Structure 1
Amino acid sequence: MESIADPALAAWLDGIRTGESVEPSLETIRLLRKDRARPPGPELASVTDVTIPGRPALRARLYRSGAAAQPLTVFVHGGGFVFGGLESHDRLCRRLALLANTAVLAVDYRLAPEHPAPAAVDDIVCALAWAAGGRAGRVPEELGPVLPGVGLAGDSAGGLIAFLAARRLAGTPAGPAVLFLAYPNADLTLSAPSIRGKGEGWGLPVRDLAFYISQWVPNASPGTLAEFSPVHGFPLPGPGMRVRTILATAEHDPLRDEGELLAGRLTAEGIEVEHVPHAGLVHGFLTLDTVSPAARLAGDELLGHYGRVLTAAGNCPPDARC
């Protein structure tokens, strides 16, 4: 019998397994995008909507737990490339700001199918360049006082978008100092064993996932999908991408194996990677804190650890491995 982290999570999974199955479609995407009530996150010193200039201009939200200088994290939400936004991950961003002691800039990037790949990656690259001050190197006043060393964090689809943005900016002043990937997509060909073993009844149906991917990379051949899949299909960065990476996976997640493969491949490329597996948990556990005490505890520990790593990276001399 497979172990589940706590009874509350087991009950949540039972509800999913006994609920009505809905065929993924453009209509279901529209329904997933609708506003709905969510449990609130912790109170912070300030939460401010900002606009990142560009073509197009991007909506974003800045979270700060205090007025003193803090490291900055650019956050990339999950949602299968087709849904999610500032509201869906508001509570997670508040927890991240509080537990990691970081200012958080959540970016409302463009979604598929209206904006297929690489639009979302372009948007995060734009956000990172803006946060780094562009060519002038002056941090935008809207961000408030921030310390050196920007972090880049993303969950699920946001993890893949974050990785691709970091790869594009490798070796530039806008590249992140720390990359935090929570149960990321890493193989859009869906060929890892856990896709088959955990693809039904664990909260992320592979049928839905395949449909979402087809909206982000439409009419794609396996070769085209591989071009967006860091576990294979394109050469990973060399010394230019020396960004410390924290990569979290969950035991009962169809994306588990591709996350593990990505961690191993990055390590083989000489990138400092910390793989953090989570026994008994499922995909999306960072946003299941109000469902499962075990998910809340695991998330609290992971977010706090990321914050300590980010703070240490900001104190690390350039080109040093701290």
Structure 2
Amino acid sequence: MSVMDADFEAMLQLQAQAAEAQPQPPLDAIPPEMVRAGYRMQRQGQNLNAPKDVETRDLKAAGGAGDVPARLYTPAAAATPSGLLVYFHGGGFVIGDLETHDGHCRRLAAGAGCRVLAVDYRLAPEHPFPAGHDDALAATKWAFEHAVELGTDPTRIAVGGDSAGGNLAASVALDLVGDAKRRLVFQLLLYPGIWPDQETQSRKDLDGPVLTRAALDWFEKLLAAVGHPHAERAMLGNRDLTGAPPALVVTAGFDPLQDEGRDYAERLSAAGVKASLVHYPTLVHDFYIMGDVSPAVPKAAAETAAALKAALG
């Protein structure tokens, strides 16, 4: 295994010392809203130096059961119309929001020169599966229908997301295969949770950092997708990938999800889909939203945004 990025290693050492001095109760003992608040505070504090020359507009997009909040990012250099990335944040379907991923969406928008529509889909356990997946699909359809007022070109729309958001993006991309009115041109899957049927080696080997087994179990329990009649919308291990849009899959070396991301890229390629895999061996899960921790993050974000720019034309 590679050596971890030194700045992330230092951050994790400080966190471990703090946890030793003040041990935290297990996740099951903390109300989800408190976990969300802690995550929001931490990630916002680690991503303060994202581009400022990006205009933001909060709006409402269609969801699966009524409107959901969304935020449109328009970089200063964006043409009108521009391409559009419909983006779903990570957080295990339980935590994360527009604020935790604000800096990350700014970097993507500025680097790709396109508009980004971040969708604040409903979270479990208050809204168990498939609420988030329904919202992601409905919001993407809404973006096609409102492309002109969003300042975007309906022939240049992509979906993307990180971690659980990568699962949502991949799921939406498959749900829209064969929809002649809504042809996605790209999917951006950043350390996606694919939820394979067989436990991968990296899930067996890695308990953290950042994404622990306890957290993965907690997320899975609260989402309550296992055993649902439409569980295949989240558990993508056996989905037919034929006809899916071209993809960029990004994985990190210190991330339990790395093997399922790699395997998904390989499955896409085997299904005849143009799929690229980019692996950052020294980085950890969630790195895109910790932009101030290491110079490696803005560099990786710029490379990802360049790929998005090329895909959206």
TM-score by length of 1: 0.86
Q: 2:156 aligns with which of 149, 154, 167?
A: 149
Give the equivalent residue in structure 2 for 1:281: 283
Gaps of 5+ in 2: none
Mapping of residues 285-296 of structure 1, within 5 Å = 285-296=287-298
C-alpha offsets along residues 279-321 of structure 1, whole Å, 9 cap, x if unaligned? 111111111211111222122212222222222xxxxxxxxxx
Gaps of 5+ in 1: 312-322
Question: 1:156 offset after TM fit, Å?
Answer: 0.4
Question: 1:192 offset after TM fit, Å?
Answer: 0.7
Give the equivalent residue in structure 2 for 1:216: 223
C-alpha offsets along residues 125-159 of structure 1, whole Å, 9 cap, x if unaligned? 111111111xxxx6351x12446310111000000
Give the equivalent residue in structure 2 for 1:65: 75
Give the equivalent residue in structure 1 for 2:121: 109
Compare the two structures and name the one with the higher strand fraction. Answer: 2
Query: Which amino acid counterpart does residue 278 of structure 1 have in structure 2?
Result: Y
On the 8 A contact 2:113/2:309 being kept in 1, the answer is yes
CA distance in 2 between partners of 1:122 and 1:222 (Å): 14
CA distance in 2 between partners of 1:31 and 1:154 (Å): 23
Counterpart check, 1:205 vs 2:207: no
CA distance in 2 between partners of 1:25 and 1:79 (Å): 16
Question: 1:27 offset after TM fit, Å?
Answer: 2.2
On the 8 A contact 1:24/1:211 being kept in 2, the answer is yes
Give the equivalent residue in structure 2 for 1:14: 13
Q: 2:235 aligns with which of 229, 232, 252?
A: 229
Alignment length (residue pairs): 299
On the 8 A contact 1:189/1:222 being kept in 2, the answer is no
Question: 1:44 offset after TM fit, Å?
Answer: 2.6
Q: 1:99 aligns with which of 105, 111, 129?
A: 111
Give the equivalent residue in structure 1 for 2:194: 186
TM-score by length of 2: 0.88
On the 8 A contact 1:41/1:92 being kept in 2, the answer is yes
Q: Percent identity?
A: 32
CA distance in 2 between partners of 1:223 and 1:130 (Å): 26
Question: 1:203 offset after TM fit, Å?
Answer: 1.3
Q: Flag the 1:259–1:98 CA change in 2: closer, same or farther, 3 A.
A: same
On the 8 A contact 2:68/2:121 being kept in 1, the answer is yes
Mapping of residues 34-53 of structure 1, within 5 Å = 34=37, 36=41, 38=45, 39=48, 41-53=50-62
Query: Which amino acid counterpart does residue 156 of structure 1 have in structure 2?
Result: S
Question: 1:174 offset after TM fit, Å?
Answer: 2.1
On the 8 A contact 1:122/1:165 being kept in 2, the answer is no
Query: Which amino acid counterpart does residue 252 of structure 1 have in structure 2?
Result: F
Q: In terms of mean alpha carbon deviation, does 253-262 or 65-74 score higher?
A: 65-74
Q: 1:85 aligns with which of 97, 115, 132?
A: 97
CA distance in 2 between partners of 1:53 and 1:147 (Å): 17
Question: 1:263 offset after TM fit, Å?
Answer: 1.0
Query: Which amino acid counterpart does residue 50 of structure 1 have in structure 2?
Result: L
Q: 1:30 aligns with which of 28, 33, 38?
A: 33
Give the equivalent residue in structure 2 for 1:319: none
Q: Flag the 1:26–1:166 CA change in 2: closer, same or farther, 3 A.
A: farther
CA distance in 1 between partners of 2:87 and 2:72 (Å): 10
Q: Flag the 1:254–1:176 CA change in 2: closer, same or farther, 3 A.
A: same
C-alpha offsets along residues 38-87 of structure 1, whole Å, 9 cap, x if unaligned? 32531134210111145311110000013622111101000110011111
On the 8 A contact 2:108/2:301 being kept in 1, the answer is no
